[in-house]
């Protein structure tokens, strides 16, 4: 008896019990999934039997059926599609997925990954290549935050928008930990990378506050954030020597940061509006979790760092946990001007 008829005969024997899962060619089909297919008048197990025997049309119909399922059944359907892909092989499966319309490709990718299978990049790279969104890989500069749960990226060309970052290089985490051995939650680094933007990626959900996904395909440069490379407008960036230290005051990010060169930890505080003390703006803050406290007085006065010919527009007096520091300050606008001047020269 040909294999396809054997599958159909077995399905006929099992069809009397619709409450139990059935197995077609070694692939288990949940009863809830069969019921959902029946409601759509879709012969799920019949098409699966034919697909396992190499019928491309039935395979395509199973893939397109992904568009009809709610999230409750998408996981079960994803496991079936992953098993079918494994039996047919990546090359044959990719030929069929490549014929799908764009919306179906998006749904199929999400459905397969919803089934809890290994990432398609490792399990089926040819299939993944057919399911990826249309992409135009470009160079980007921005701020990248690594987090075990969710990475983010802010593009310097549109700093008001934030993207969920997907690192296809697999190297950003290692470099992030190298640059920031003890990062505070959400601490960014500067990243110059190649990649593309998309409104979907596999079965990952996009929270409302994010503009989309940013997929990193190549790393060009990664470095700690400083006043020259950050693209999020700040009020002041303060710098000092003997000892070396730096601080950032940013209403846009809602933070005040301080780092001494003898300490690898960046201390962070919530931003509060300054008060005027004579001719100086004074910022004060306390980190309730660590007990650290900071006071920064910024005065509009020409200042030199004592180590270069650069002149700054602001003089800064800073007190960190009772320790005093003196240095110079630069505004975001001034840093942008100096950056443009250096490019011209």
Last residue of a domain, one of 224, 255, 270: 224
Contact 225, 189 (CB under 8 A): yes
- Is the model's pLDDT at 341 over the cut of 60? no
Q: Is residue 231 part of a domain?
A: no
Same domain, 270 and 166: no
> For 19-28, 33-42, 313-322, which range has the lowest pLDDT when averaged over its residues?
19-28
In the prediction, which pLDDT does 264 show? Answer: 77
Q: Is residue 87 part of a domain?
A: yes
Q: Is residue 264 part of a domain?
A: yes
Share of the chain above pLDDT 70, in %: 92
Domain that holds residue 93: 3-131
When the pLDDT of each residue in the chain is averaged and rounded to a whole number, the result is 90
In the prediction, which pLDDT does 161 show? Answer: 94
Distance (Å, rounded) from C-alpha 239 to C-alpha 244?
A: 8
Q: Is residue 183 part of a domain?
A: yes
In the prediction, which pLDDT does 263 show? Answer: 76
185 contacts: CB under 8 Å, gap ≥ 6: 147
Distance (Å, rounded) from C-alpha 329 to C-alpha 345?
A: 23
Tokens of residue 282, six digits: 């004074």
How many domains, the chain? 3
Q: Is residue 230 part of a domain?
A: no
Same domain, 50 and 103: yes
SS3 sequence of 259-309: EECCCCCCEEEECCCCEEECCEEEEEEECCCCCCEEEEEEEEEEEECCCCC
pLDDT band at 32 (very low <50, low <70, confident <90, very high): very high
Q: Is residue 63 part of a domain?
A: yes
Same domain, 127 and 145: no
Last residue of a domain, one of 193, 224, 255: 224
> For 17-21, 109-113, 185-189, 236-240, which range has the lowest pLDDT when averaged over its residues?
17-21
Question: The CATH number of the domain where 195 resides is what?
Answer: 2.40.50
171 contacts: CB under 8 Å, gap ≥ 6: 219
Same domain, 272 and 324: yes
Beta strands in the chain (DSSP E): 22-24, 27-29, 138-145, 151-155, 163-167, 189-198, 212-224, 236-240, 245-250, 255-260, 267-270, 275-277, 280-286, 293-304, 311-320, 323-330
Same domain, 197 and 299: no
Tokens of residue 6, six digits: 């054997």
Segment 113-119 mean pLDDT:
85
pLDDT band at 342 (very low <50, low <70, confident <90, very high): very low
Segment 248-256 mean pLDDT:
94
Contact 83, 68 (CB under 8 A): no
In the prediction, which pLDDT does 2 show? Answer: 54
In the prediction, which pLDDT does 20 show? Answer: 77
Same domain, 46 and 125: yes
Q: Is residue 207 part of a domain?
A: yes
Kindly report, residue by residue over 193-222, the tens digit of the pLDDT. 999 999 999 999 999 999 999 999 999 999
Kindly report, residue by residue over 276-331, the tens digit of the pLDDT. 998 999 999 999 999 999 999 999 999 987 777 788 999 999 999 999 999 999 99
Tokens of residue 174, six digits: 């290692």
Same domain, 155 and 181: yes
Same domain, 169 and 185: yes
Q: Is residue 38 part of a domain?
A: yes
Segment 153-166 mean pLDDT:
94
Same domain, 144 and 124: no
Same domain, 149 and 240: no
Last residue of a domain, one of 131, 154, 181: 131
Distance (Å, rounded) from C-alpha 110 to C-alpha 120?
A: 11
Same domain, 92 and 19: yes
Same domain, 293 and 336: yes
19 contacts: CB under 8 Å, gap ≥ 6: 31
């Amino acid at each position: 008896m040909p294999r396809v008829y054997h599958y159909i005969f077995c399905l006929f024997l099992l069809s009397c019990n619709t409450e139990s899962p059935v197995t077609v060619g070694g692939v288990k089909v949940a009863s809830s999934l069969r019921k959902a297919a029946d409601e759509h008048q879709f012969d799920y197990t019949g098409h699966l039997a034919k697909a396992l025997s190499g019928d491309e049309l039935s395979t395509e119909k199973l893939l397109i059926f992904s568009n009809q399922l709610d999230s409750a059944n998408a996981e079960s359907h994803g496991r079936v599609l992953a098993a079918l892909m494994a039996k047919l092989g990546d090359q044959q499966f990719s030929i069929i997925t490549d014929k799908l319309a764009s919306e179906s490709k998006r749904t199929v990718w999400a459905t397969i990954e919803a089934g809890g299978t290994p990432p398609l990049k490792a399990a089926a790279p040819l299939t993944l290549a057919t399911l990826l969104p249309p992409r135009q890989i470009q160079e980007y500069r921005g701020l990248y935050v690594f987090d075990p749960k969710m990475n983010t990226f802010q593009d310097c060309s549109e700093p008001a928008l934030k993207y969920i970052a997907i690192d296809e290089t697999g190297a950003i985490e290692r470099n992030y930990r190298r640059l920031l051995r003890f990062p505070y939650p959400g601490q960014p680094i500067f990243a110059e990378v190649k990649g593309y933007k998309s409104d979907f990626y596999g079965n990952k959900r996009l929270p409302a506050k994010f503009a989309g996904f940013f997929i990193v395909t190549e790393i060009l440069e990664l470095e700690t954030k400083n006043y020259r490379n950050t693209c999020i407008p700040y009020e002041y960036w303060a710098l000092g020597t003997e000892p070396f230290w730096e601080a950032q005051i940013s209403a846009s990010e809602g933070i005040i940061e301080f780092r001494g060169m003898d300490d690898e930890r960046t201390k962070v505080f919530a931003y509060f509006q300054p008060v005027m003390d004579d001719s100086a703006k004074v910022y004060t803050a306390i980190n309730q979790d660590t007990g650290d406290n900071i006071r920064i007085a910024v005065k509009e006065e020409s200042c030199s760092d004592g180590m270069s010919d650069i002149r700054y527009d602001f003089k800064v007096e800073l007190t960190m946990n009772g320790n005093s520091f003196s240095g110079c300050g630069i505004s975001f606008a001034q840093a942008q001007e100096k950056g443009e001047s250096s490019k011209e020269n």
